[in-house]
Structure 1
Amino acid sequence: MLYLFVTGFRIGIQSLVEDGLPPLANKRIGVVSNHTGVTPEFEHLVDVLYFKFHLNVKAVFAPEHGFRGDLPEGFSVESYVDDRTRLPVYSLYGARLKPSKDILNELDVLIYDIQDVGARFYTYISTLFYVLEVAGETGVEVLLLDRPNPITGVRMEGPILDARFRSFVGIW
């Protein structure tokens, strides 16, 4: 991972911050993230936007394992208020898998920043699918902060999912 930073490669959050946050000026912001959405200095995206840049972050959406990554796999996440920021955190794992259209209608942009390893059984790609689906239906802009696959990401392998077995754990 250090090699990426030495060669000048930037992850999405770095590009956003170093380029001056242009797509976020005067916007009502929602963030879909977990404990992996951090800067190279391990500052969380939400903390950076909210505390450092004082942007108008209105909501956080939590995938499996919760927003701060402190819940075990398969644990149903309920919505709550984040202790650090006092922002509402809406669960996208449990009773609701998609963001509410009512909540999205109160936002201008959704930022998605979650590290994934490209394994089908990781639910983060399913969360992204549903976020994009509802954002498209409501006209909310999505800003996807990309991160390299830590397991090289050089080749795709494995069988294609049989549609009969499609679920949130294997949506593709």
Structure 2
Amino acid sequence: MPLEGRALLFVGPDGSGRFTLANAIGVTLNIPMVTSYTTRPKRPRETDGKEYHFVSEDKFKAMQEANEFIEVVQSDDFYYGIRKEDCQQLLEKAGSFFAILSPEGCEIFKREFTNTLTIFVYADRDTVVQRQIERGDDPETIKRHLSHYEEIMAYKDKCDIAIPNYDLASTAQELTNRIEKFLGIEHHPDSKY
């Protein structure tokens, strides 16, 4: 049975700024993020429990065998998953949450929740490369991410909203207005974004 509550699902290529944008909107609209678990190594500026819960492959597999995850996606030999219990707790507390997902994860979430809004955040290939360089990704990681760029971009037309992200403040403001309509809340004229 699908879970009640509103889920904002952010999708897009690596380096599109979907994390930054989703977090800015989460803060503005007071919507919490459900944090994925992953077996991939932590990047230099990441904090365990913030961007992801970083766990060993053994721990991840044990959680998977206990059916704790709504979805599990494998990408580049790393596993990613979101716990159903984490989503339920956020829905009970806040009535909504946002998640950063792959296209596959997004499709699974659309089946699991009654009320979803899929938001595709993107930028051109050169911009996403530049952003990955700026955040300290090594050339091998960037090459791996780019190998998925076209495949992820192909999901754009399946989303409720597709928005290019070149200027965070204006993108966040436009997206906030559109999400407020979905959530049925009035626009905050004093909103930061």
- Per the TM superposition, whether the score is higher than 0.5 is no
Determine which structure has the larger strand proportion and give its number.
2
RCO comparison, higher one (Cα < 8 Å, 6+): 2
Q: Which protein is richer in helix relative to its size?
A: 2
* TM-score, length-scaled by structure 2: 0.34
